[in-house]
Amino acid sequence: MSVVGEQLQPTIFELSRPGRGGGKIPHPPAGALDRIPASARRATPPALPEIAEPEVVRHYVNLSTLNYAVDTGFYPLGSCTMKYNPKLNEWAARLPGFAALHPLAPDAAAQGTLQLLWELEAMLAEISGMTAVTLQPAAGAQGELTGILMVRAYHASRGDLERTEVLVPDSSHGTNPATASMAGFKTITIPSAPDGGVDLDAFRAALGPRTAAIMITNPSTLGLFEARIGELLEATHAVGALAYMDGANLNAILGRFRPGEAGFDVMHINTHKTFSTPHGGGGPGAGPVGVRDALEPFLPGPRVIREADGSFRLERSGERPTSIGRVRSFFGSTGVLVRAYAYLRSHGGTGLREVSDDAVLAANYLKALVGQAYQVPFDRPCMHEFVASAADLKHRTGVRTLDVAKRLIDKGYHPPTIYFPLTVEEAMLIEPTETESLETLDGFAAALIEIAREAETDPELVTSAPHDAPVRRLDEASAARQPNLRWRGMTGSEMPCPD
Amino acid sequence: MPYGPHAAGDRARMLEVVGVDSVDRLFDDIPEALRSGPLRLDPPEPELELSARLQALAGRNLTDLAGFLGAGAYRHWTPAAVDQMLLRSEWYTAYTPYQPEVSQGTLQSIYEYQSLLAELTAMDVVSASHYDGGAATAEAALMTSRATGRKRVLVSRGVHPHYRGTLATYAAGAGLTVEDIPLVAQGPSAGTTDFAALERLLADGIPVAGVVAANPNVLGLLEDMPRVGELAHGAGALFVHVIEPVSLAVLATPGETGADIACGEGQPLGIPLQYGGPYLGIVACRNALVRQIPGRLVGLTRDLDGKRAFVMTMRAREQDIRREKAASNICTNQALLALAAGIYLTAIGPHGLRDVAALGAARASELEAALAAAGAPRIHDGPYLNEFVVRVPDAPRVHARLLELGVLAGIPTADLLPGEPALDDGLLVCATEVTTPAEISRFASALAAELTMAAGLTGGAA
Amino acid sequence: MVPVDLRYTKEHEWVRLDGDEAVVGITAFAADQLGDVVFVELPAVGRALAQHATFGVVESVKAVSDLFTPLGGEVVAINDALAGQPELVNSDPYAGGWMLRLKVADAAQVDGLLDAAAYEQLTSEG
């Protein structure tokens, strides 16, 4: 069974023939560019392809069928929360009133969007237990940078300039240590304890007057709630450091745990995970950041302000001198935020709690089934995702997690996240989400169990998978050694015809 | 829950398999003292009511005015095929293409985007995308520091103030010093980068990593970019050319101006304005700097059978592998917007793109003449493409007054670039291929009436 | 089997003394652990390195590792061939895949390094 289309496509450059396409834009008046000095002009026209619209459409439709997607099948990619993307949200973001609004439109012309953003900030503050929220960051990683730069500004504002270190558990996403570096901090890696949580003794030993912040993903990337979170937060604050929560796994704890209320000082939220603004094949996302009182003065600008008369406006440049400044142009990824707003309103407070309940139930159910054939390293309830390991299978049969993942493709499923977190051998991080039916979960578990059986009886079948995908495994080494990052074939007869 | 899949009895069956009597048991790891009460949010809203609410909010925005706003975000016409293709959910509901065997659609589309932008900019390497023009400019400046080992960057005040602001924020974390290069205040070069000041900054003894300038600059003026490049290179610094992609159909490319790095905002390539994002950050560079470019890259390779295929490559530069030593923390990028730009460029074609740029220039000429006749001449003498500044006494007040008359009269330059006395009475206005003669005359006649009235009031007072 | 005429570090670099100079690379064990090597970043000739200092980075498709110099000294040559053929680190780690040539600052530092037997012991415990 092939789960995606089979027809590989020529590139758009190969489809190009001089003289095809065009006719969409009225011809400009002759001499329209005469006032541009010759020295400022481009010498040769860009070698862009010339293709008629029917072929353009066929190209992109056929290419799209080579993708596996949430709308084509089960996508249990751990830490990515690949839940269903409601179509209402796509429709809403395209309403002309939202889509055609210029980012520098005067506040009076943007009241609908400003109200939506203001309400969204309030909803996210309630969900996160934080005092205030910025919607500016374009993605989770930019949210992290925003948060850690605020931490830096906070310490600096107190004359506390010796704090140069950020503590990060070894199971964290790579963005955490990369963020600490970008913000000018040194990363101190904290090992995990055998139960999967942060090693409290090692953590306490690393904390000190040089600690600016800790960055904790909770639930952790092992899919476990950090049961010692109270102790971690208390120890952090006792040395004058701040606590950052990576909200990548927020889908497990909606209405169950509010990080700000529990003592975290700052967190980001991935709207493209928890609130189902789609992933878009790698982006766009949005990474709103919530903070408690102490960090509020440092939020990036502009913020949305509600005036006494009920109207809304954007903060003006320089209005709040304590701000860390801008982290991007204009207000933010508003089109993504419209989708998040629609998602939150459609669920409401009770629906969001059900989201987490069902996500956690689905993960525990799947864990029970998958545990029949694979190791499940932590014997306690998981949150919205769990780690399975093919380490035993590998030692017995030579079949690795990578092979299991590729064989899942043949069986019609997207593989889970593999070899992450780094702390578990032959890891598979599996996150089913709350929008998958019982039949889908049963089918996926059966496929994984069948692959384990195939590994015993016919390992070659598994190690050579996938067999039913548009391409087989790729030569990634050559791709990296001699990178070919752009098409260079547009020469001679394929060059655009002159005007 | 509106999108839940469960039938009656499904949850009970799942709980039985898990071996607990209630879903609450699964949350026992949360310390009791730290558990939260119910969320104080409105109840769930059925789709019928929610769609009406969303329509009402969208309707409160005023988007059908005669609009002359630019300054980094531009109203353009987009072929209908672009959004029709983007609505295929195989694109927007897929994740980052970590499993290349089932992601060839996304991977090839990004490779094609990289190739199209390489053609447009005449640069060697284009990254798979960044967040927006601001973050792209900040990342480009950080690249110059990594490549040269120097810690000081010079940025023209002709670079969009939001990009400069973003760069300042990123620089604070990275320990870089960022200094402004002023604009010429008067004379034939007024409004463009002050080269004498740039030469002084480059010669003051503190080594410079990169020099950043934009063409067209934020006032719409064309800059002598090769000159910026010569001065930068003469001091051993790298040259960063901030682009506007549609203009590159006709204006000198970063490849031609000697730029080492190009960056900018891809929104004009088929991406809706949507109040600031999601947009498309463009970063491009010469081959020599490929190891310094942050973010994802897609390359062409072969599969085991020798079939051509695409894959994310040079991955070991990225945060998930290199962690604290990565050049950037970027993970999620703007893949869907890169796809939009790719479809836009393919659908509109090379001649179409040139026509978009030329038609915008023609409409801008008409706008310039109409506003001059209404009493608002250009402030600057230098050439522009489709955006320029006009002198309007008491510009912020006139701007607000015209909004009441249904005209978005550009942007007061006093707001956009505070601290430039020469621009206190300016409005930055823009025309593109969608600007109509009717809109231009509406703007011009409203402005003329307003200026006449203001002159009359002034005269009466005197 | 690891070559007996070389000395080793716990971080899996090898060094071969050649008069008052030394040649440095990574072991076959290290190359295997990394998988297909796709890029090697090496220092500029003329740079002075302290013993055990980081001198570069080796990247495979999905991993990255710092490189540490077994001995202190000044870099007198780097293996330019690795720029075009990083795979030499996998295929010929002890000869064609060499990385650095150093002018050794203090030959006595050699005494602190592992010999072949000790290194073999280390990797077999792995």
Chain C within 8 Å of A102 (Cβ-Cβ)?
Answer: no
Structure confidence at residue A494 (pLDDT):
52
The alpha carbon of residue B101 is apart from the nearest alpha carbon of chain C, in Å, by 16
In the block, tokens 């550009």 appear at B410
Residue B255: is its pLDDT beyond 60?
A: yes
The alpha carbon of residue B197 is apart from the nearest alpha carbon of chain A, in Å, by 22
Structure confidence at residue C1 (pLDDT):
75
Domain ranges of chain B: 80-344, 350-457
Structure confidence at residue B455 (pLDDT):
82
Q: Are strands A211-217 and A242-246 parallel, antiparallel or unpaired?
A: parallel
Which option is the CATH number for C7-109: 2.40.110.10, 1.10.390.10, 2.60.40.10, 2.40.50.100?
2.40.50.100
Is the CATH number 3.30.750.24 carried by domain B80-344?
A: no
Class of domain B350-457: alpha beta
Residue B460: is its pLDDT beyond 50?
A: no
Q: Do A477 and C59 touch (CB under 8 A)?
A: no
Q: Give 3-state DSSP helix, strand, coil % of chain A, rounded to 5.
A: 40, 10, 50
Structure confidence at residue B270 (pLDDT):
97
Mean pLDDT by 10 residues, chain A (499 residues): 73 94 93 96 94 97 97 96 98 98 97 98 98 98 97 97 96 93 96 92 97 96 94 98 97 98 98 96 97 98 96 94 97 98 98 98 98 94 97 96 97 96 92 98 98 97 96 94 87 53
Test the B interface: residue of A123, A198, A233, A486 with most B CBs within 10 Å: A486
Test the C interface: residue of A473, A476, A482, A484 with most C CBs within 10 Å: A476
For residue A5 the two structure tokens come to: 């289309």
Q: Residues near A211 by Cβ (< 8 Å), separated by ≥ 6? A: A163, A165, A166, A167, A188, A236, A239, A240, A241
Q: Give chain B positions within 8 Å (CB) of A285.
A: 332
- Residue B319 is nearest to which of A12, A174, A225, comparing CB atoms? A174
The Cα–Cα gap between A322 and A317 comes to: 12
Chain A within 8 Å of B434 (Cβ-Cβ)?
Answer: no
The Cα–Cα gap between C16 and C25 comes to: 9
CB A53 within 8 A of CB B81: yes
Q: Name the strand (E) or helix (H) holding A255.
A: none
> What chains are in contact with C, requiring at least 3 Cβ pairs below 8 Å?
A, B
Q: Do C39 and A480 touch (CB under 8 A)?
A: yes
Residue B458: is its pLDDT beyond 90?
A: no
The alpha carbon of residue C13 is apart from the nearest alpha carbon of chain B, in Å, by 20
Structure confidence at residue A492 (pLDDT):
46
Chain C interface with B: residues with Cβ < 8 Å:
38-39, 41, 57, 59-64
Give me the half-sphere count of Cα atoms (radius 13 Å) on the Cβ side of residue A395: 7
Test the C interface: residue of B315, B317, B318, B322 with most C CBs within 10 Å: B315
Helix (H, G, I), strand (E, B) or coil at B245: helix
Q: Do B134 and A328 touch (CB under 8 A)?
A: yes
As for the ipTM of the complex, it is 0.97
The Cα–Cα gap between C49 and C72 comes to: 5
Q: Do A225 and B59 touch (CB under 8 A)?
A: no
Q: Give chain A positions within 8 Å (CB) of C36.
A: 476-477
Q: Which amino acid is at A330?
A: F
Test the A interface: residue of B42, B98, B101, B227 with most A CBs within 10 Å: B101
Q: Do B316 and C41 touch (CB under 8 A)?
A: no
Q: Give chain C positions within 8 Å (CB) of B325.
A: 57, 64
- Residue B321 is nearest to which of C39, C41, C64, comparing CB atoms? C64
The Cα–Cα gap between B126 and B118 comes to: 6
How buried is A19 (Cβ within 10 angstroms: 0-12 exposed, 13-18 middle, 19+ buried)?
A: exposed
The Cα–Cα gap between C126 and C122 comes to: 7
Q: How many other CB atoms are found less than 10 A from the CB of residue A440?
A: 18
Chain B within 8 Å of A53 (Cβ-Cβ)?
Answer: yes
The Cα–Cα gap between A286 and A335 comes to: 10
Q: Do C39 and A476 touch (CB under 8 A)?
A: no
Q: Residues near A181 by Cβ (< 8 Å), separated by ≥ 6? A: A187, B324, B325, B326, B329
Q: Give chain B positions within 8 Å (CB) of C39.
A: 291, 314, 316
Which option is the CATH number for A89-345: 1.10.1040.10, 3.40.640.10, 3.20.20.70, 3.40.720.10?
3.40.640.10
Largest CA-CA distance found in chain A, in angstroms, rounded: 76
In percent, the amount of chain B with pLDDT more than 90 equals 94
Domain ranges of chain A: 89-345
Task: Compute the Cα dihedral for B328, B333, B337, B338 and give only its sign.
Answer: positive
Window B:197-216, CB contacts with A under 8 Å: none
User: Rounded to whole angstroms, what are the CA distances from B281 to A85, B133, B135, B439, C10?
Assistant: 25, 5, 7, 31, 43
Q: Give chain A positions within 8 Å (CB) of C62.
A: 419
Structure confidence at residue B430 (pLDDT):
98
CB B455 within 8 A of CB B379: no
Which residue in chain B has the smallest CA separation from C37? B316
CB A121 within 8 A of CB A337: no
Q: Do C38 and A477 touch (CB under 8 A)?
A: yes
Q: Do B63 and A109 touch (CB under 8 A)?
A: yes
Structure confidence at residue A171 (pLDDT):
87
Give me the half-sphere count of Cα atoms (radius 13 Å) on the Cβ side of residue B80: 1
| pLDDT tens readout for residues B114-144 | 999 999 999 999 999 999 999 999 999 999 9
Kindly report whether the peptide bond that precedes residue B418 is cis, defined as omega within 30 degrees of 0: no
The alpha carbon of residue C17 is apart from the nearest alpha carbon of chain B, in Å, by 32
Domain ranges of chain C: 7-109
DSSP state of B65: S
Q: Do C87 and A419 touch (CB under 8 A)?
A: no
How buried is B124 (Cβ within 10 angstroms: 0-12 exposed, 13-18 middle, 19+ buried)?
A: middle
- Residue C61 is nearest to which of B291, B315, B325, comparing CB atoms? B315
Q: Give chain B positions within 8 Å (CB) of A350.
A: 38-39, 43-44
In percent, the amount of chain B with pLDDT more than 70 equals 99
Sheet holding B125-126, edge to edge: B125-126, B281-285, B261-265, B238-243, B210-214, B152-156, B177-181
Q: Do C64 and B314 touch (CB under 8 A)?
A: no
The alpha carbon of residue B319 is apart from the nearest alpha carbon of chain C, in Å, by 11
Structure confidence at residue B454 (pLDDT):
84
Q: Give chain B positions within 8 Å (CB) of C41.
A: 291
The alpha carbon of residue B444 is apart from the nearest alpha carbon of chain A, in Å, by 19
Chain A within 8 Å of B32 (Cβ-Cβ)?
Answer: no
The alpha carbon of residue B322 is apart from the nearest alpha carbon of chain C, in Å, by 6
